[in-house]
């Protein structure tokens, strides 16, 4: 996903000199081409995320489209008040980009597990929050956030994820993508969990159950209509995210369902409880440990369907 | 067409008016932070009357010089100078702190002439640095001046742009430290001693000068010398007195918090306006 992001951004930046990319001293083997070919639009701000964020805001208030780039929690939680006051309060045209969403850096330890930042970014007034599912969505999301005036957060995975989408997609901020349809439940995923959702839906189909799958790439503004439609048209909704079940996709969908006047739908959030992972390991290992792998999700969904 | 406007008010008179507005505003609103507004008044008067290029009729003029009050709590002085410069009618100052007013207790965008909203310390210098960097990238000639407090130099995030600006040779950027030596809950030397402060800026790659922040001539000469060295950002460590201009406030932590009321207010205005006789001085 990070390669899809930087390739797309490079193309956009060649055509639009307002685009400035700031990095918190990360991007080895990723950002070199951008740095070398567009030096007037590239800033290595050093390991200083608070300054990077506020400098980006200052650039944006002077007419630039500024992107900050780092990994895991560094461009979000480390400099949260700078995002709140300097970016969001000023409605500055800054895009915060994090590589390594969820357990992508699973073996590096809980400091590098980005498992609360979607919820935290959702709380920021005026912030658009986007977590694409695969390189196809990452390309489209990059174009969309750069075109969207105002603060955005883009959560990327890492490198080498397969494409989940095999056909061209209609990507619009705030509009879920219906990847497949079914009448027995709806699986709503965000970020890289789409792959798991599609896998589970395929397994369910083999058992004779039809699952609608929504890729909720935009967490804010949430596609409320898609959630309500799922509640009306399918008897169960399950959310899937590599994130705390508090505040992220599960929280956002729960908020919608709780206020829906006539939603009588079984509902389950699959994600992390509010905890640090007690073990480190590969993304696959940690997904299994926390019930986020295909087998575990299938089991949970089957139980819910009774 | 926007064009730089000349401020006809002499700095000494402008400083007097800034102090008067600040004292009256804080008194009326029962607001904190008068001490840090009075320490900054002379600096603000010279910066606005003699240095910055701006057009109050066009606050968004792209070529304007930028002034960032990073010590957002000193805003009563900023609103006063902006009003005197013609950004808005002076009567608007009466709404300071009031229900529904844009004139908030910390510098808040939306008031004409206020570049950015501040109030949490350790943000403004980075914002100013971003603006200065944008000017360099776009080959524009506007300059950016940022005023920080001494207490604000406790913030690690003040020293991140301190590293960044010299790296990018931002000689279109100047920081002014309103060094009144008293922070929220003690003397700076007792809380986190900043000394040697000018040396710290130099060590980070800035060209730094120390001045008396109440010597109007020295302030004007110093600003005229910007940038002190080509290729380097400039730091002005301005030695000031908290509460300057009102004798009973000078050097007193209490006036970070208390608002002058009643006889205190009258005495403050008399001193600012120079109406005190020798007899009054002796009587004290």
Q: Which helix (H) or strand (E) holds B209?
A: strand B207-212
Give which of A12, A249, A259, A304 is closest to A146, Cα–Cα.
A12
Percent of chain B with pLDDT over 70: 97
Q: Which residues of chain A make contact with B132, given a CB cutoff of 8 A?
A: 58
Instruction: For residues A191 and A222, give the distance between their C-alpha atoms in angstroms, rounded to a whole number.
Output: 14
**Closest approach of A97 to chain B, Cα-based (Å):** 18
Tens of pLDDT, residues A4-61: 999 999 999 999 999 999 999 999 999 999 999 999 999 999 999 999 999 999 999 9
Go through the domains of chain A in sequence order and give each one's CATH number. 2-155 (3.40.50.970), 177-305 (3.40.50.920)
Chain-chain contact of B164 with A62 (C-beta, under 8 angstroms): no
Record: contact B126-A86, CB cut-off 8 A = yes
**Residue A20 has which token pair?**
């400035």
Identity of the residue in B115, B123, B137 whose CB atom sits nearest the CB atom of A82: B123
Is the CB of residue A89 less than 8 Å away from at least one CB of chain B?
Answer: yes
What is the nearest CA distance from B216 to chain A, expressed in angstroms?
30
Find which of B106, B117, B126, B140 to mutate to test the A interface (most A CBs within 10 Å of its CB): B126
In order of their start, the domains of chain B are 11-283 (3.40.50.970)
- ipTM score assigned to the predicted complex: 0.94
- Residue in B118, B130, B164 closest to A59 by CB: B130
Condensed to tens digits (0 to 9), the pLDDT of residues A186-242 reads: 999 999 999 999 999 999 999 999 999 999 999 999 999 999 999 999 999 999 999
**Can you tell me the distance from the alpha carbon of B129 to that of A65, in angstroms, rounded to the nearest whole number?**
16
Please check the confidence at residue B280 and state whether its pLDDT lies above 60.
no
A253-283 pLDDT, tens digit per residue, is: 999 999 998 888 999 999 999 999 999 999 9
The secondary structure element, H or E, covering residue A30 is: none
Cβ–Cβ gap A55/B135 under 8 Å: no
pLDDT exceeds 60 at position B240: yes
Residue B284 has pLDDT above 70, yes or no: no
Min distance B159 CA to chain A CA atoms (Å): 9
* Alpha carbons A141 and A126: distance in angstroms, whole number: 17
Considering chain A, what is the average pLDDT of its residues? 97
What is the pLDDT at residue B283? 43
**Using an 8 Å Cβ cutoff, are B178 and B40 in contact?**
yes
Question: Which chain A residues are within 8 Å of B131, Cβ to Cβ?
Answer: 58-59, 61-62
Chain A partners within 8 Å of B72 (Cβ): none
Q: Determine whether the interchain pair A58/B127 forms a contact, defined as Cβ–Cβ distance below 8 Å.
A: yes
What is the rounded average pLDDT for all residues in chain B?
96
| pLDDT above 70: percentage of residues in chain A | 100
Question: Which of B115, B130, B164 lies closest to A46 in CB terms?
Answer: B164
A243 close to A118: Cβ distance less than 8 angstroms: yes
Q: Is the pTM of this model over 0.90?
A: yes
User: 10 Å Cβ neighbour count for B96?
Assistant: 23
Residues B134, A59: C-beta atoms closer than 8 Å:
yes
Which positions in chain B touch A63 (Cβ < 8 Å)? Answer: 62, 134, 138
B123, A54: Cβ pair inside 8 Å?
Answer: yes
Task: Give mean pLDDT, residues A90-112.
Answer: 96
Of B128, B137, B164, which has the smallest distance from its Cβ to A45's Cβ? B164
> What is the number of helices (H) and of strands (E) in chain B?
10, 7
Q: Which residues of B touch A (CB under 8 A)?
A: 62, 109, 115-120, 122-123, 126-135, 137-138, 156-157, 160-161, 163-164, 167-168
A65 close to A18: Cβ distance less than 8 angstroms: yes
* Number of neighbouring beta carbons within 10 Å of residue B177: 28
Strands A218-220, A128-130: pairing is: antiparallel
As a whole number of angstroms, the distance between CA B50 and CA B255 comes to 29
Angle between helices B124-137 and A49-60 (to 10 degrees): 50
- Do the Cβ atoms of A86 and B164 come within 8 Å? no
With a cut of 60, say whether residue B87 has pLDDT above it. yes
Tally A–B CB contacts below 8 A.
93
Q: A157 and A1 in contact (C-beta within 8 Å)?
A: yes
B275 CA: distance to closest CA in chain A (Å): 43
């Amino acid at each position: 996903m990070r390669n899809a992001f930087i390739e797309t951004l490079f193309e956009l930046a060649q055509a639009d000199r307002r685009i400035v990319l700031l990095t918190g001293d990360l991007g080895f083997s990723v950002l070199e081409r951008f740095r070398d070919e567009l030096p007037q639009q590239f800033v290595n701000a050093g390991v200083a995320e608070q300054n990077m964020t506020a400098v980006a805001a200052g650039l944006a208030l002077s007419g630039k489209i500024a992107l900050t780039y780092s990994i895991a929690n560094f461009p979000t939680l480390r400099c949260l008040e700078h995002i709140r006051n300097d970016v969001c309060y000023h409605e500055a045209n800054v895009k915060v980009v994090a590589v390594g969403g969820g357990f992508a850096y699973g073996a590096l330890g809980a400091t590098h597990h980005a498992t609360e930042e979607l919820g935290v970014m959702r709380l920021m007034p005026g912030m658009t929050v986007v977590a694409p599912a695969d390189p196809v969505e990452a390309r489209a999301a990059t174009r969309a956030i750069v075109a969207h005036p105002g603060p955005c957060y883009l959560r990327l995975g890492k490198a080498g994820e397969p494409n989940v989408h095999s056909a061209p997609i209609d990507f619009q901020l705030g509009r879920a993508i219906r990847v497949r349809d079914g009448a027995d439940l709806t699986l709503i995923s965000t970020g890289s969990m789409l792959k798991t959702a599609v896998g589970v839906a395929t397994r369910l189909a083999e058992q004779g159950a039809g699952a609608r799958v929504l890729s909720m790439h935009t967490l804010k503004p949430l596609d409320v209509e898609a959630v309500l439609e799922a509640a009306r048209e399918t008897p169960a909704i399950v959310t899937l995210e590599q994130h705390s079940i508090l505040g992220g996709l599960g929280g956002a969908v729960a908020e919608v369902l709780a206020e829906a006047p006539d939603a009588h739908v079984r509902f389950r959030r699959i994600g992390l409880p509010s905890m640090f992972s007690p073990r480190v390991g590969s993304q696959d290992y940690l997904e299994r440990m926390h019930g986020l792998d295909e087998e575990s999700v299938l089991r949970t969904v089957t139980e819910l369907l009774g | 067409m926007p064009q730089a406007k000349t401020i006809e008010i002499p700095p000494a008179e402008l400083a007097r008016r800034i102090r008067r507005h600040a004292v009256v505003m804080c008194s009326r609103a029962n607001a904190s932070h008068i001490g840090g507004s009075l320490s900054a008044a002379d600096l603000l008067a010279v910066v606005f009357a003699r240095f910055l290029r701006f057009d109050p009729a066009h606050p968004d003029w792209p070529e304007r010089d930028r002034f960032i009050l990073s010590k957002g709590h000193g805003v009563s002085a900023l609103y006063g100078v902006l009003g005197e410069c013609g950004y808005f009618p002076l009567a608007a100052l009466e709404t300071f702190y009031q229900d529904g007013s844009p004139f908030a207790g910390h510098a808040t965008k939306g008031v004409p002439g206020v570049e950015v909203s501040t109030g949490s310390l350790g943000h403004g210098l980075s914002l100013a640095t971003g603006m200065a960097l944008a000017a360099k990238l776009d080959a524009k000639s506007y300059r950016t001046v940022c005023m920080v407090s001494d207490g604000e130099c406790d913030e690690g995030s003040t020293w991140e742009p301190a590293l960044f600006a010299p790296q990018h040779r931002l000689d279109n950027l100047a920081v002014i430290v309103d060094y009144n030596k008293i922070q929220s809950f003690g003397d700076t030397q007792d809380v986190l001693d900043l000394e040697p402060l000018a040396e710290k800026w130099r060590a980070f790659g800035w060209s730094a000068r120390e001045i008396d922040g109440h010597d109007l001539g020295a302030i004007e000469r110093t600003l005229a010398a910007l940038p002190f060295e080509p290729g380097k950002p400039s730091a002005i460590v301005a030695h000031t007195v908290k509460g300057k201009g009102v004798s009973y406030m000078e050097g007193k932590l209490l006036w970070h918090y208390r608002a002058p009321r009643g006889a205190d207010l009258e005495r403050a205005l008399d001193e600012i306006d120079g109406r005190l006789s020798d007899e009054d001085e002796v009587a004290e």
